[in-house]
Amino acid sequence: MKTASMAEEMKQHLTQGILPFWEGLKDEEQGGFYGFVGPDLKVDKQAVKGCILNSRILWFFSNAAMALKDDSLLAYAGHAYRFFEDCCLDREYGGVFWSVTWDGKPEDTTKHVYNQAFAIYALSSYYAASGEEGALKRAWELFDLVETKGFDEGGYKEALDRAFQPAENDKLSENGVMADRTMNTLLHVFEAYTELLRVTNDNRVREKLLWILDTFRDKIYNPKLHRQEVFFDNEMNSLIDLHSYGHDIETSWLLDRGLAAVGDEKLTEKWRPIIADLVQEVYNKAYYNHSLSNECEKGVVDKKRVWWVQAEAVVGFYNQYQNAPEHREYLEAAEDIWNFIKTHVVDKRAGSEWFMHVNDAGEPETDKPIVEPWKCPYHNGRMCMEIMRRMA
């Protein structure tokens, strides 16, 4: 496949598939977007609305408006922004709730740093797309909140209760461990601050990105195993033998994006070998049957083809091909996984979007919802927009 045709296919999929699906979930009565579509494609209009989902929708429509130069999409972004302002923010204690009810009342009042980060990410993009000064003001408020209440001498915290006291981190812990700190939260704080730096060029944010980069290098990246560690205790000791293929390939290109925002060429060159190492290990260990396995825990590979992992693999492999064009295997992998997505992960039923999981033969798990609080247009929509931009 020629790269130009992949970009054209991505644009078509974005404009004719992903965008219409999410436009159709706009809740005109209660605000925001409906929070659940079952495997039978029935919309549950009274399902919980995850605030992370709303932030990701706000990010998606903001960036789609900019990528496609289509101001009509700002109306959808504005709809998500108003719901965020009206319902997702805690006016008493500050910060963003974990979730609200279908009609916008607090449902889970946990204040997770991961959730605050996604709000900063979305608000920064909405400001870039719309010029709405209130969105940037809110992003700065959340930045200050994360730095004062969500950060200590050991790094970024995880789950906090409504009044910002420590809470059990069950939302970002998996694989039988309860983590005090996670690679995942740190990655998405980095992602959010990258976007905030891109729209403000503020040195406070640049300094925090440099701190996070140091932490990734010194505490998260494992050079002996060519991967990131995932779950940690409070002193940043790894809790489990786990290789998260999707997070490593996602991290590889988000690191490049953050380094570009920081704007230090010498620092970027220092990071190139680490980024290359993460990508090569994922390519060697996880890429087969035209797609990526999910993860490997204690030597046992989870062969599920998770929707977001495939999307991030396309961007991550293509990004590394751009870094090192002599490695055409990464270009070929990006094209191959896109073909797998088109054939197996995209749900061909009218009124649907992507399956959540398929197996390594491409057969979907048909009992999984199409939309729920973690199933969003952020990974697949971003894949389309990144490839469109990079191949322009």
Check pLDDT > 90 for residue 1: no
Is residue 387 over pLDDT 70? yes
HEC states along the chain?
CCHHHHHHHHHHHHHHHHHHHHHCCECCCCCCECCCECCCCCECCCCCEEHHHHHHHHHHHHHHHHHHCCHHHHHHHHHHHHHHHHHHECCCCCCECCEECCCCCEEECCEEHHHHHHHHHHHHHHHHHHCCHHHHHHHHHHHHHHHHHCEECCEECCEECCCCCECCCCCCCCCCCCCCEEHHHHHHHHHHHHHHHHHHCCHHHHHHHHHHHHHHHHHHEECCCCEECCEECCCCCECCCEEEHHHHHHHHHHHHHHHHHHCCHHHHHHHHHHHHHHHHHHHHHHEECCEECCEEECCEEECCEEHHHHHHHHHHHHHHHHHCCCCHHHHHHHHHHHHHHHHHHECCCCCCCECCEECCCCCECCCCCCEECCECCHHHHHHHHHHHHHCC
Burial state string for 183-195 with b = 16 or more CB within 10 A and e = fewer than 16? bbbbbbbbbbbbb
- The structure's pTM equals 0.98
CATH assignment at residue 167: 1.50.10.10
Q: Judge whether 227 and 251 are in contact, CB under 8 Å.
A: no
For residues 104-125, give the mean pLDDT: 98
How large is the average pLDDT for residues 65-87? 98
Is the per-residue pLDDT at 384 higher than 70? yes
Q: How far is CA 260 from CA 139, 198, 273, in A?
A: 21, 9, 16
Q: Encode pLDDT of 152-210 as tens digits.
A: 999 999 999 999 999 999 999 999 999 999 999 999 999 999 999 999 999 999 999 99
Q: What's the mean pLDDT in 286-290?
A: 98
CA-based nearest residue to 212, from 197, 200, 226, 201: 197
Give the chain's domain count.
1
Burial class (CB in 10 A: 0-12, 13-18, 19+), 143: buried
Question: What are the residues facing 375 on neighbouring strands?
Answer: 372
What percentage of the chain reaches a pLDDT higher than 90? Answer: 99
Would the pLDDT of 4 be above 70?
no
**What per-residue confidence (pLDDT) applies to 120?**
99
The residues with which 301 forms a beta bridge, in sequence order, are 296
What pLDDT was estimated at residue 392?
Answer: 87
Share of the chain above pLDDT 70, in %: 99
Residue 145: domain span = 3-390
* Among candidate residues 100, 95, 105, 60, the one with its CA nearest the CA of residue 79: 60
Residues 6+ apart with CB under 8 A from 345: 305, 307, 310, 354, 355, 358, 362, 364
Matching residue, tokens 């889970």:
108
pLDDT at 3: 62
pLDDT in tens, 222-273: 999 999 999 999 999 999 999 999 999 999 999 999 999 999 999 999 999 9
